Amino acid sequence: MTLPTRQIGPFTVSSIGLGCMNLCHAYGIPPSPEDGAKLLNRALDLGVTFLDTAAIYGLGASERLIASAVMHRKDEFTLASKGVMDAIDGKRVLDGSPLAITATLDRALQRLGTDRIDLYYLHRLDRKVPIEESVGALVRAKEAGKIGAIGLSEMGAATIRRAHAVHPIAAVQSEYSPLVRNPEVAVLDTCRALGIGFVAFSPVARGMLARGVRDDGYEPHDIRTTMPRFLGDNLLHNLEVVAKFETLAAGIGCTPAQLALAWVLAKDDNIVPIPGTRSIAHLEENVGAASVSLTHETLAAIEAIFAGTIRGARYAPFAQATVDTELLPDEELA
């Protein structure tokens, strides 16, 4: 199968990619490696040509899964991974120093069983290290042939411009969905101005726009247990808002997840969403969003549903401290 394509830096990729975090990490008990491998191969069979992982996902397990499951099909996809956030001796660290970035990249190459990663991001901003120094490490990695292009994740417009002055940035990745609009403050405009592709992670709002959240009884080790908008009274209120979105999706004959992905795709041709899933059925549903066309009236209805209506912070304070993407006006931080 083939999907429509879009351009991310030098890469032509499917208009919908696959985020590989929750195959090993973050949303409760992950699938078995065998089931994860089946999902990855099904994604390629469906025409998905953009896979996104990171060193921190499953403390390296996501990269190892990709190596064992699909690297024999590497000519079928563009591979992205991320450094700065890593696991040292089983503990999470954030280190944007050139030495740490180089070491993380080298370990990633070993786990992936390859000598080159197509697109390599700085996963988060290390405020102790000038962004110019962190980018410089990736410039040297590119010159050495270890990576093909440089990306940034969850960084604000000023940081993007500083990084881009050192070396052209191919892609910026941030959370973006009808429910999470922070990139609209400044990042999307900056990417357009500089010719940078934008990769939207969590485009179905960590399952909230995919009928995947109905209460806060999450499994152990689910990161949503730390996110205020997914808990308690905030969640009850937010689900009332989301119910309107679900009704809208039903009215136009698609699922809420497809409506969310179609909305992201409609925002700009330089945007590629990378929904993640542990379910082949959900994967197939997500890929189906590529054929959903939205009218101006539907787009306006979505904007109206989520105009200032979501309660609760996007991240807990410890996680928000690593995020450089601009806040929305009056955004809650606790």
Catalytic residues: 57
Interior/surface letters 108-139, b for 16+ CB within 10 angstroms, e for the rest: bbebbebebbbbbbbbbbbeebebeebbbbbe
What letter does residue 47 receive in the DSSP assignment? T
75 class by beta-carbon count within 10 Å (0-12 exposed, 13-18 middle, 19+ buried): exposed
Q: For 9-32, give the secondary structure using H, E and C.
A: CCEEEECCCEECHHHCCCECCCCC
* Residue labelled with tokens 């306006």: 300
* Residue labelled with tokens 């806040």: 327
What letter does residue 315 receive in the DSSP assignment? S
* Residue labelled with tokens 């996104």: 52
* Residue among 269, 241, 272, 242 at smallest CA distance from 256: 242
Crossing angle of helices 61-70 and 33-45, rounded to 10°? 60
CA atoms of 315 and 322, how far apart (whole Å): 10
Q: In this structure, are residues 191 and 160 in contact, taking their beta carbons and an 8 Å threshold?
A: yes
Q: Can you spell out the DSSP letters for 73-106?
A: GGGG-EEEEEESEEEETTEEEE--SHHHHHHHHH
| Amino acid at site 134 | S
* Residue among 142, 204, 197 at smallest CA distance from 13: 197
CA 274 centroid distance within chain: 6
